A and B are shown apart, each in its own frame.
Chain A
Amino acid sequence: MTRDEILARVFAELESVAPGCAPENADPDAALLDELDIDSMDFLNFIIALHKSLNIDIPESDYPELATLNGAVVYLLQKANG
């Protein structure tokens, strides 16, 4: 998968777990939860959605790597193509 495909998927899943959170307008290096005003339930639902749609394993211990949009894209790119 390309970086753009991953990014599009991340945006789509975020928009689906927190409608109206507008991830495309967010600072990609800011803390995701604060930047999008989502809570731990939203974040877990985001992880569940990624796990299902990309079919990759995201252990809880890796959550810090998904703390920002850019971090999440780098992590998922590596996992999806690794």
Chain B
Amino acid sequence: MYEFRMPSLGADMESGTLVEWLKKPGDAISRGDIVAVVETEKGAVEIEIFMSGTLDQWLVQEGQTVPVGMPLALIATEKEEKAPSISAPAPRPASEKAEAPPPVPAAVQAQPLPVTQAPPPVALAAEARIKASPAARAYAREHGIDLAAITPGTPGGAILRADAERGAALQTQAPATPTPASARRSKHGFDFDKMRHAIAAAMARSKREIPHYYLSTQINLRHATAWLTETNANRQPERRLLMNVLLLKAVAQAVKAYPRFNGFYLNDAFTQAQGIHLGPAISIRGGGLVAPAMHDCDQKSLDEIMTSLRDLVARVRAGSIRSSEMSDPTITVTALGERGVDAVFGVIYPPQVAIVGFGAPHLAPVAHADGGLAVEPVILASLAADHRVTDGHLGARFLSQIAALLQEPEKL
């Protein structure tokens, strides 16, 4: 049996609230399926699973907030499924059989659970796993009881069925208070205060721990602009590209040549990432931002990057980002120039080790090597990088590589 756990969706995440189960016990599960929606400080995230099998049982109910690493559900793997006993509920001791309730049909379990249970006490959040007997779990599941709110009969021991029954009596005596808004939120809702808190925590950690160095360079966009204008002139609006797409591709290709900017600094060591998963910073109306992963950016064509960017922007703003997109970015790219500023010097999102920033493309006087002066489209690119991994020397070469790649847009 495989334990499907609350994933860590970023260095700053400590817990998450399970807002919606998208698979119910008995459902077949394939690798890559979205199994649940979890509310984090950065908004709602669709949680994917990376194995196949059958969902055996939920260990956490909708509305519960649990720490990272806590099992959310049990999954019977494909091998186990073939064994005859596995599809049945968890085995119970023979003596309990007489009083055991009949297995709850999957359809009943799929009903939304009553929202009367109080949120689990905060103290329990420290306990990574709730120890409970299968019978106690079955009883709690059937009666809609929150196991997290039940005290085992033996201190430090597992919750047994008797404990669950006692807890049920207590929980039903408590008045059915409406669940606080924070405990159950709409799938598409953002809690801006929470998001601000998450950004503050990550950025404070970044500024505290990461010795940033900063570089900037002006990149000539004459060729890139001309290429883009010509390309888009022959295209219907839905197939047109944005300058940001060229910038992203140039960064991805430069990262390929300079992999020391692509990865994670954890436990006093840098680990180079295998794939190039750029995290384009996407702002959310009303405040806050998310920089979800655009997977394998170096292998995508410009059209594919455009499609992926459009999809990510739409989903970030609709609040339906997937778990792998939250945890996978290997380097962030921010194009704040969209809002008119000349330049942006980013704060690295830990445990990443670099962030590339682009200001607004604008017209500027450009002096040419032959002494001539021309007005041309340019953009200010910046790099903030982690001194524990690289020095300014390598950073300068990385930034220059981005500039060089943008001089030949047709090759991107």
Listed in ascending order, the chain A residues whose CB lies under 8 Å from chain B are 18-21, 34, 37, 39-41, 44-45, 47-48, 51, 58-61
Contact = CB atoms under 8 A, between A and B. Distances in A.
A21 B340 CA distance: 18
Interface in B90-133: none
Interface in B235-290: 236-238, 240, 242-244, 283, 285-286
B386 to A, nearest CB: 28
Contacts of B338: 39-40
B232 interface: yes
Nearest to B239: A48
- Per DSSP, chain A at the interface is helix
Nearest to A38: B285
A44 B285 CA distance: 17
Contact of B233 (A18, A34, A39, A61): A61
B210 interface: no
A59 B233 contact: yes
- Per DSSP, chain B at the interface is helix
Contacts of A34: 340
B299 interface: no
Interface string B196-240: 000000000000000000000000000000000100110011101
Contacts, number: 38
A44 B237 contact: yes
A47 to B, nearest CB: 5
A21 B242 contact: no
Interface centre among B232, B237, B244, B339 (most CB of A within 10 A): B237
B285 A20 contact: yes
A9 to B, nearest CB: 16
A20 B286 contact: yes
**Chain B contact residues (Cβ within 8 angstroms of A): what range?**
20 to 34
Given A44-B237, A51-B237, 10 more contacts: A20-B285, A21-B285, A40-B338, A41-B244, A44-B240, A47-B237, A58-B237, A59-B233, A60-B229, A60-B233
B285 A19 contact: yes
A34 B313 CA distance: 18
Interface centre among A20, A41, A45, A48 (most CB of B within 10 A): A41
A59 B229 CA distance: 10
A41 B313 contact: yes
Contacts of A20: 285-286
Which 5 pairs from chain A and chain B are nearest by CB?
Answer: A48-B237, A39-B338, A60-B232, A47-B237, A51-B237
Contacts of A39: 283, 338-339
B242 A44 contact: yes
B310 interface: yes
Nearest to B318: A19
B309 interface: yes
A41 B312 CA distance: 11
Interface in B297-332: 309-310, 313, 317
Nearest to A34: B340
Contacts of B232: 60
A27 B286 CA distance: 19
A60 B340 contact: no
Nearest to B338: A39
A26 B236 CA distance: 28
6 contacts: A19-B317, A20-B285, A34-B340, A37-B285, A45-B310, A51-B238
